[in-house]
Homo-oligomer: A and B are copies of this chain.
Amino acid sequence: MSIKPLADRVVVKAAAAEATTKSGIIIPDTAKEKPQRGEVVAVGEGRTADSGTLIQPQVKVGDQVLYGKWSGTEITIDGDDYLIMQEKDILAVL
C-alpha cells in the first residue's frame, strides 16, 4: 500500500464487527464504548519531540491492535475503508 502516514500516525484496517481473535479477545461491535480491533497496514516514521528527538512508533505493519471506539478519520483506498489515527489512540497490541 503506497500511503505513508505522517509523523506518529498509523493506518488501520478495521476488523469485521463481531470477531474473536486468535488469542480469544471478543470485540462486540455493538457494546457501548468498547475498544475496536483492527490490523495495522501503514505506520509513519514517528513524531519529533520538542527536544528534537524522533520518537519511534511502538507498533508495526501486521500488528493486531485495540483502539478507542471513536479514534481516527475514515479514508477509502481502492474501494476499501481504513482509519488513519495517531498512535496514542491505540491501547494495545494483541
Contact = CB atoms under 8 A, between A and B. Distances in A.
A93 B33 contact: no
Contacts of A74: 31, 33-34
Interface size, A (range) = 35 or more
A66 B58 CA distance: 23
B53 A92 contact: no
Nearest to A1: B23
Nearest to A86: B91
Given A2-B94, A3-B25, A31-B74, 13 more contacts: A6-B59, A6-B93, A7-B58, A11-B92, A23-B78, A24-B78, A34-B73, A44-B92, A50-B53, A51-B52, A52-B53, A66-B84, A73-B91
